[in-house]
Amino acid sequence: MRTVFSPSVLSVAASHSAARAVAVPARSAARPVWLLLLATAAACAPASTPSTAPVPIAAPAPTPSAPAAVTPPPAVTLDESPVNWQLRDLATDGIAGVGSERAFKELLAGRTPGRTVVVAVIDGGVDTAHVDLREVLWQNPNERPGTKADDDKNGYVDDVRGWNFIGNPDGRNVNHDTFEMTRLYAACQREVAGTSAQTAQRVSECERIAQDYNERKTEVTQTLAQIQNISRALDGAVAMLRPEVTGELTTAKVQALQPTSPTLTQARQMYLQLAGAGLTPAELAEAREAYEGQAKYGLDTAFNPRDIVNDDYSNGREIGYGNNDITGPDASHGSHVAGIIAAVRGNNIGLDGITNGVRIMGVRAVPDGDERDKDVANAIRYAVDNGAHIINMSFGKGYSPEKGLVDDAVRYADSKGVLLVHAAGNDGEDIDVTPNFPNAMLSSTDKARNWIEVGASSWKGGNELAAPFSNFGQTRVDLFAPGVDIYSAVPGNEFKRQSGTSMAAPVVSGVAALLMAYYPELTASDVREILLESVTPFKSLQVVPPGGAPNARVTFGSLSVTGGIVNAFEAVKLAERRRAARQP
């Protein structure tokens, strides 16, 4: 899923009256830097529907831990995140980025990559024409463009840059799709209407699915109303402020304005509060469009775009369906992810990717809605079979009816030594308790060896180090990485700040690719081990728990296996020590 927001986390933000906005997409997707402030802003706007108090979320139990090995990151007082903040270093820059630029300057100066690393981005699409991405796209060496033939005999025709599993050979593509729970709810409804009796177990399953479906429907309706209320209030504030300033209405001009009436004071306060969060009328319009899409498509039990693909959907082992359009109708999310990993470095355009020596393989399998297990499984297998060293998966969902298909593909990737990096999700939930799919657990006793599960950290530091939307889990989340207000590529040669574990995962993929590029002897298992051993540890740091009350505190170490943030500088040092130890 790449277009779903989490109202439950959003409502928690109402008590963060001084907080900057961050995105709160549910279970995977990244969003611009505004949604977390919506509930705060709603307090300034007249409500048309009763608000529902947030359900208290139990904080994870603190675990005994030794004092932090490094000085905790200080609270940052900047108005907005610096561009490329994820590349910065805590020791030298005072911001808890990954230290990759420091690694290049101090440890890798004068060196070039020992190999080209292929990172598959399984997502909603990648803009192949983007000025900061087109130079770093993978090209299938055995496929000749435009022949309309499967030159390399891999089962996919003209897959020059990758493959699209949610398209049709005639050029049509799936854009919107339903939620997985909607598909399951619809199946339950068909069973009830049919002649066959349901087993007691099936009745229980369908009752749980129906409850989840109705809760989501209520959330979407209430959040859409909230967005509409705030939009009206902001429009009213703009209408009042515009005559009071000369020329374009800007934050600086509103800041300098001396109100002459209580209503003007209120308008000024609202405008500055939203502007401070980066919230604009355009972004509110985007949020409204997203929620309207959820209501119109995601929750519609009669909507089924699978006819576009025209595959044998019941055959989970089918390959070759789809088309070679890896951009698709909306490549915003996937382009942002790809840019974080590998945007052209040193061209003074947009941002610098984590590392050079990388090629991005686009694999489109994620619609605006929930991805389907068959497509995810095939996307993983395609990436593995076509030479990917790392697979980035910035998506997820709460149900996985064909989990076995995906698990088999994960086992296949494991057997081929491919590293899988997955975003933990954005519900502010403990995924040790509430699983997110796909995941590394292949059975109750079997776990993928080359899998890294990633939570999101913030540039703000202090007790706000953990992103308020991030999922967590002391056994299922391996580490955290920068995932708030990350500036990266979006279609049309543009750049934008977005937030989510969707942004944190490609930071880790980028650091992993850096290690593989400069230390080609390292296996996927080696890289995983190094990344987990070399984190910047903040185990004893007291932080606001993701999804919890702002006055609550837990140790950062209770949120993941390592209790730390990925650190490229320390990872390179460890890789160098391992190389030296191997030499005779």
Mean pLDDT for 356-373 is 98
Q: Measured between alpha carbons, how far is 559 from 477 in angstroms, rounded to an integer? A: 7
Q: Are residues 446 and 326 located together in one domain of the fold? A: yes
444's torsion region: left (phi>0), alpha (psi -120 to 50) or beta?
alpha
Instruction: Look at strands 358-364 and 390-393 and give their pairing.
Output: unpaired
Q: Measured between alpha carbons, how far is 164 from 184 in angstroms, rounded to an integer? A: 24
Give the pLDDT band of residue 283 (cuts 50, 70, 90).
Answer: confident
Of 296, 311, 342, the last residue of a domain is 296
For residue 42, being part of any structural domain is answered with no
| Mean pLDDT across the chain | 88
Q: Find out whether 84 and 488 touch, Cβ atoms under 8 Å.
A: no
Q: Measured between alpha carbons, how far is 185 from 168 in angstroms, rounded to an integer? A: 27
For residue 533, being part of any structural domain is answered with yes
Task: Identify the pLDDT of residue 280.
Answer: 74
Task: Identify the pLDDT of residue 262.
Answer: 92
Q: Is the pLDDT of residue 29 over 90?
A: no
Give the pLDDT band of residue 85 (cuts 50, 70, 90).
Answer: very high
Of 367, 390, 385, 416, nearest to 507 by C-alpha is 390
* Two structure tokens written together for 298: 């995601």
| Three-class secondary structure of residue 355 per DSSP | coil
Taking the model in full, what pTM does it have? 0.88
Q: Are residues 437 and 532 located together in one domain of the fold? A: yes
Q: What residues contact 258, with CB distance under 8 A and at least 6 apart?
A: none
* Two structure tokens written together for 280: 């604009």
How far is CA 240 from its chain centroid? Answer: 37
- Please give the share of the chain, as a percent, with pLDDT higher than 90: 77
Mean pLDDT for 216-234 is 91
Number of helices followed by number of strands (H, E) in the chain: 16, 14
For residue 47, being part of any structural domain is answered with no
For residue 40, being part of any structural domain is answered with no
Q: Which domain holds residue 357?
A: 57-175+322-582
Q: Strand ranges (DSSP E) for 158-269?
A: 162-164
Q: What residues contact 170, with CB distance under 8 A and at least 6 apart?
A: none
Q: Is the pLDDT of residue 48 over 60?
A: no
Give the pLDDT band of residue 37 (cuts 50, 70, 90).
Answer: very low
* Two structure tokens written together for 414: 């494991």
Of 243, 232, 244, 412, nearest to 319 by C-alpha is 412
Mean pLDDT for 5-23 is 33
CA angle 429, 2, 184 (to 5 degrees): 75
Task: Identify the pLDDT of residue 38.
Answer: 54
Q: Is the pLDDT of residue 534 over 60?
A: yes
Q: Is the pLDDT of residue 53 over 50?
A: no
How far is CA 565 from its chain centroid? Answer: 16
57: Cα within 13 Å, side-chain hemisphere:
30
Q: Measured between alpha carbons, how far is 399 from 468 in angstroms, rounded to an integer? A: 23
For 99-114, the pLDDT digits (tens) are: 999 999 999 999 999 9
Mean pLDDT for 282-291 is 85
Q: Of 44-53, 69-78, 81-90, 137-146, which gets the smallest average pLDDT?
A: 44-53
Q: Is the pLDDT of residue 18 over 60?
A: no
Give the pLDDT band of residue 76 (cuts 50, 70, 90).
Answer: confident
Task: Identify the pLDDT of residue 71.
Answer: 73
Of 258, 278, 296, the last residue of a domain is 296
Task: Identify the pLDDT of residue 1.
Answer: 61
Task: Identify the pLDDT of residue 373.
Answer: 98
Mean pLDDT for 388-407 is 97
Task: Identify the pLDDT of residue 277.
Answer: 66
For 326-364, the pLDDT digits (tens) are: 999 999 999 999 999 999 999 999 999 999 999 999 999
For residue 12, being part of any structural domain is answered with no
For 433-476, the pLDDT digits (tens) are: 999 999 999 998 899 999 999 999 999 999 999 999 999 999 99
Of 404, 406, 386, 387, nearest to 395 by C-alpha is 406
Q: Is the pLDDT of residue 296 over 70?
A: yes
Q: Are residues 137 and 275 located together in one domain of the fold? A: no
- CATH at residue 63: 3.40.50.200
Strand-pair partners of 259: none
For 412-434, the pLDDT digits (tens) are: 999 999 999 999 999 999 999 99
The number of folded domains in the chain is 2
Q: Measured between alpha carbons, how far is 446 from 167 in angstroms, rounded to an integer? A: 34
Give the pLDDT band of residue 275 (cuts 50, 70, 90).
Answer: confident
Q: Find out whether 442 and 420 touch, Cβ atoms under 8 Å.
A: no
Give the pLDDT band of residue 507 (cuts 50, 70, 90).
Answer: very high
Task: Identify the pLDDT of residue 369.
Answer: 96
Task: Identify the pLDDT of residue 69.
Answer: 53
Q: Are residues 204 and 330 located together in one domain of the fold? A: no
Q: Measured between alpha carbons, how far is 461 from 75 in angstroms, rounded to an integer? A: 5
Backbone angles phi, psi at 334, to 5 degrees: -65, -35
Q: Are residues 258 and 336 located together in one domain of the fold? A: no
Q: Find out whether 428 and 559 touch, Cβ atoms under 8 Å.
A: no
Q: Over the range 119-147, which residues count as b (16 or more CB within 10 Å of their CB) and which as e?
A: bbbbbbbbbbebbbbeebbbebeebeeee
Task: Identify the pLDDT of residue 444.
Answer: 87
Q: Are residues 100 and 161 located together in one domain of the fold? A: yes
Task: Identify the pLDDT of residue 400.
Answer: 97
Q: Are residues 278 and 402 located together in one domain of the fold? A: no
For residue 143, being part of any structural domain is answered with yes
Task: Identify the pLDDT of residue 7.
Answer: 38
Q: Is the pLDDT of residue 402 over 70?
A: yes
Q: Are residues 76 and 95 located together in one domain of the fold? A: yes
Mean pLDDT for 289-305 is 95
Task: Identify the pLDDT of residue 81.
Answer: 84
Q: Find out whether 130 and 489 touch, Cβ atoms under 8 Å.
A: yes
367 against 232, higher pLDDT: 367
| CB atoms closer than 10 angstroms to residue 314 | 7
Q: Are residues 160 and 196 located together in one domain of the fold? A: no
Asked if the bond preceding 438 is cis, omega within 30° of 0, the reply is yes
* Two structure tokens written together for 421: 């990096």
Mean pLDDT for 391-397 is 98
Q: Are residues 469 and 346 located together in one domain of the fold? A: yes
Query: Strands of 494-499's sheet, edge to edge?
Result: 31-32, 494-499, 486-490
For residue 301, being part of any structural domain is answered with no
CA angle 315, 382, 130 (to 5 degrees): 125
Q: Is the pLDDT of residue 204 over 50?
A: yes
Q: Are residues 195 and 269 located together in one domain of the fold? A: yes
Q: Measured between alpha carbons, how far is 75 from 480 in angstroms, rounded to an integer? A: 18
Q: Of 71-80, 250-259, 476-485, 564-573, which gets the smallest average pLDDT?
A: 71-80
For residue 17, being part of any structural domain is answered with no
Backbone angles phi, psi at 313, to 5 degrees: -60, -30
Task: Identify the pLDDT of residue 72.
Answer: 74
- Please give the share of the chain, as a percent, with pLDDT higher than 70: 87
Task: Identify the pLDDT of residue 113.
Answer: 98
Q: Are residues 341 and 462 located together in one domain of the fold? A: yes
**Residue listed under structure tokens 């399953």:** 205
